[in-house]
């Protein structure tokens, strides 16, 4: 993807963008949780690059040690999928572009324990139920002219699975990460992605820093409108 930073900068000026980042944690008890290995680096890179291009960014992030400061970034910290859902719904109506880069938990604990579960020699069983599919809900309620972007992390049949997700969740773009690509995925400072549009366009990147990938994603989306 070849881009010209300055030719696109005016297209982002004043644009309201909602971005999610990091994992979500579902509490088992006061000291334990179900989570994943997401560091939040890709979402934070997207927020940073969008703000540098002149956009007004709302960044909804799950638990992470990452820090970001910019006058055009409003950071909202959440812990659970329910918290992220609430923050996304509250901020989605004013956003013209929504990029869901967070790795949201698919399941939550049915009976969260209020006290620490003591270690015993006996087995314990955790009962789980599905969390709200935030991306699908945003797709159902997408406004005219709003662009919705999802992420897919796949290990098998990557492109086919990503296309299915794009269609089922009413997305305009999906950004595919493959765990089969060295240097990409959770926790790395680099990434390699395939961007697929609802029109069937496919844009592929080389392995780059996540900041460079973030810029590529933003400018590909703004430069190839799906509407």
Looking at the chain, which runs of residues are DSSP E strands? 16-21, 26-29, 32-34, 56-61, 73-77, 97-100, 107-109, 128-130, 147-154, 173-178, 190-191, 193-197, 202-204, 208-209
Supply the pLDDT for residue 156.
76
Supply the pLDDT for residue 164.
94
Supply the pLDDT for residue 9.
76
Q: Which residues of the chain have pLDDT under 50?
A: 1-3
Supply the pLDDT for residue 121.
81
Query: End-to-end CA distance of the chain, in Å?
Result: 21
Supply the pLDDT for residue 2.
43
Query: From the CB of residue 141, how many other CB atoms can be counted at a distance below 10 Å?
Result: 13
CATH topology for 6-116+123-223?
Rossmann fold (3.40.50)
Residue pair 117/125 in contact (Cβ under 8 Å)? The answer is no
Active site residues: 36
Spatial distance between the Cα atoms of 134 and 85, rounded to a whole number of angstroms: 6
């Amino acid at each position: 993807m070849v881009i010209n930073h300055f030719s696109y900068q005016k297209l982002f000026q004043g644009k309201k963008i909602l971005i999610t980042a990091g994992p979500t944690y579902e509490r088992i008890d006061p000291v334990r949780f179900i989570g994943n290995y997401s560091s939040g680096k890709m979402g934070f890179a997207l927020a940073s690059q969008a703000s540098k291009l002149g956009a007004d960014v709302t960044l909804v992030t799950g638990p992470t040690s990452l820090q970001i400061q910019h006058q055009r970034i409003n950071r909202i910290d959440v812990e659970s999928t329910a918290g992220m859902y609430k923050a996304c719904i509250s901020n989605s109506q004013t956003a013209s572009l929504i990029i869901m880069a967070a790795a949201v938990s698919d399941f939550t604990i049915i009976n969260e324990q209020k006290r620490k579960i003591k270690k015993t020699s006996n087995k314990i069983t955790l009962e789980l139920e599905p969390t709200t599919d935030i991306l699908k809900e945003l797709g159902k309620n997408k406004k005219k002219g709003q662009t919705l972007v999802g992420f897919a992390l796949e290990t098998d049949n990557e492109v086919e699975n990503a296309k299915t997700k794009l269609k089922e969740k009413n997305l305009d773009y999906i950004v595919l990460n493959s765990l089969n690509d060295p240097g990409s995925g959770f926790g790395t400072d680099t990434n390699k992605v395939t961007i697929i549009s609802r029109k069937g366009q496919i844009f592929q990147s080389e392995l780059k820093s996540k900041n460079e990938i973030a810029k590529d994603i933003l400018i590909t989306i703004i430069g190839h409108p799906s509407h």
